[in-house]
Amino acid sequence: MTSLSLAEAVRQVTAGNPVFETAEAEIRGVTYRAFCNTPPHIRALMQASRAAQADGTAEYLVFQDERWSYDEFCNDSNRLAQALQDRFGIAKGDRVGIAMRNCPELLLLITAIASVGGVAVFLNAWWTTEELDYALEDTGLKLVFADGKRVQRLRPLAAGRHLTLIGIRDGEPIGDKVFSEILAGISEADWPQVGINTDDDFAIMYSSGTTSHPKGVVQTHRGAINAVFTWLMQAALTPVLDPPEDPDAPAPRPVGLVATPLFHVTATHPIFLLSLPAGAKLVVMNRWDAETAVRLIRDEKVTRFLGVPTQSADLSEAASRLNEPLETLDFLGAGGAKRPAAQVEELSRRFPGANIATGWGMTETNANGIGMVGQEYLARPGAAGRLYPPVQELRFLGDDGGDVAPGEIGEITVKSPCNMRCYLNKPEATAEAMQDGWLRTGDLGWIDPEGYVTIVDRKKNIVIRGGENIACLDVEGALHRHPAVAEACAFALPDARLGEVVGAAVQIRPGRAVTEEALLAFLGEHIAHFKIPERIWTQPDPLPRGATDKIDRRALRAACLPEWPGVRAPA
């Protein structure tokens, strides 16, 4: 390690590479510090990244037995962009839905929609028809690209919403139109010529919150680009802060495994979008399977793995079972949920050549935020890391909205050009979360004298199950639809593998009877499977309440925990 401070290293890297220079920028009436020499939008990012991808000749994308060079990927993106314009009349600002599991078409849609100035709307592939209907109403979508299972879920909604469904892969036989036929008449296409402002909308991604419905997070081109170059800068800072033993040794080409769903920001931003200027190759998994991941890492020489902590544990166990050392891995990161501290040392022993890393970010921040890697993480396995420089600012606020003293617990509040533009159609929620450019995250934490942040709790009533954010009120709302349920309360239960799972308690109406099994079956018709509680406690009496006559969630959870497997009752 050098004796340079982080601030000194930032100055050194910025002086040596003008792409990392920053300047003040006024965005929607607020002054931020932002990168000033980066590509202004996603289409320009793709064009500028060609040099990093061996002038377009490098193998860029691998999916099962299909492969694309970078130029081939860009050409297919441009073919799709032309079809969006010519066949469907997609113009600047128009929204296009994406509903599918991971596949190459999903990546092509992200770039093609962005290239024509459209706005990609990511629909969670696990949502039920009922949940999809809410998002369609919220966004006004009329065009959705979907795979087979998603076409089936969307079909009951299509006629009433005048929705056109474009079938992808197994969805082609049942879609209104066939994806492969749309592109069949276009062999090559130039880059679209639509003018795009850096502060135009780029995407809408849904994030669970404290309301019964998810919130549509509106991201801009500038927000996504500033996040990407923030991560690029961290890679440039690493050899300055921790010089390698042989600085002249050539580094292997980065190869990233896409193991998490691409309708989540963890996969789209720090894996896919970052891969473009980083000159990285992508290997895409359709769905998570640990043994398949081990074989792909081995065969494709994957260097970078980023997933929820559960996947890191699964990967470690599968690699041990298959006796595969996975020596090409040099980065093993976690996002979406906090990794158990005990797992950090275990992963370091299992993969000695990999830097174990953690990161904290939000859909609302384009995944930018806090993180650390290597020895600093091993020394502080319970912390979240330090704020990524250079465009972010950080505060910790008390309940009165004022700053708390360093070392005291406060609400983590961040300001950067990466922050969302707004919550779609929710001005009150936007005003509550965004104040003078500062985003109140709802997470509670504290910062030590060296700048390392530890997250201790969440103000929001959210369960994080293996990286999936689940609003308690979403689960409660579904439970309340059952005629036998008088009141319901959902809460987090600890889980050794997933970190947290959903638990719930309900009061049964007088004169009614319902089993836990019947409630679980009922929920399966209304909410996605990952939101369904692992255990439902039923009782005839009202649920406990606090001084304000609201259900006392913490007291209820504490009362249920002794009956949860593996949890010891308090003395």
The domain boundary, picked from 168, 203, 218, lies at: 218
pLDDT tier, 210 (very low <50, low <70, confident <90, very high otherwise): very low
**Residue 434: C-alpha distances to residues 75, 256, 431, 437 (Å):** 39, 33, 5, 6
28 in a structural domain:
no
Extended beta strands in 115-241, E state: 119-122, 143-146, 164-167, 177-178, 201-207, 215-220
| 98/144 Cα distance (integer angstroms) | 6
50 in a structural domain:
no
Return the pLDDT at 359. 93
Computed over every residue of the chain, the mean pLDDT equals 93
**Residue 50: C-alpha distances to residues 60, 71, 103, 272, 276 (Å):** 11, 8, 22, 15, 8
Tell me what the mean pLDDT of segment 178-198 comes to.
95
279 in a structural domain:
no
| pLDDT above 70 for 257 | yes
The domain boundary, picked from 186, 218, 250, lies at: 218
**Window from 2-11, 66-75, 131-140, 520-529 with minimum mean pLDDT:** 2-11
Q: What percent of the chain has pLDDT over 90?
A: 83
| pLDDT above 60 for 211 | no
The domain boundary, picked from 218, 243, 269, lies at: 218
The closest alpha carbon to 288, from 254, 318, 248, belongs to: 318
| pLDDT above 70 for 567 | no
Q: What percent of the chain has pLDDT over 70?
A: 97
| pLDDT above 50 for 481 | yes
pLDDT digits (tens, 9 = 90+) for 311-357: 999 999 999 999 999 999 999 999 877 787 878 999 999 999 999 99
110 in a structural domain:
yes
Listed in sequence order, the residues at least 6 apart from 221 whose beta carbon sits closer than 8 Å to its beta carbon are: 40, 41, 42, 114, 196, 197, 198, 199, 200, 202
Q: Domain holding 143: CATH number? A: 3.40.50.980
Report the domain count for the chain: 2
Q: Domain holding 540: CATH number? A: 3.30.300.30
Tell me what the mean pLDDT of segment 184-210 comes to.
91
**Window from 57-66, 374-383, 454-463 with minimum mean pLDDT:** 454-463
pLDDT digits (tens, 9 = 90+) for 45-94: 999 999 999 999 999 999 999 999 999 999 999 999 999 999 999 999 99
Q: Which residues make beta-bridge pairs with 305?
A: 257, 332
33 in a structural domain:
no
Q: What does pTM read for this prediction?
A: 0.89
Tell me what the mean pLDDT of segment 414-426 comes to.
98
320 in a structural domain:
no
- For residue 211, give its domain range: 69-218
Q: Quickly count helices (H) and strands (E) in the chain.
A: 18, 29
333 in a structural domain:
no
543 in a structural domain:
yes
Return the pLDDT at 324. 97
Listed in sequence order, the residues at least 6 apart from 167 whose beta carbon sits closer than 8 Å to its beta carbon are: 146, 147, 148, 151, 173, 174, 175, 176, 177, 178, 179
| 363/205 Cα distance (integer angstroms) | 7
pLDDT digits (tens, 9 = 90+) for 222-241: 999 999 999 999 999 988 88
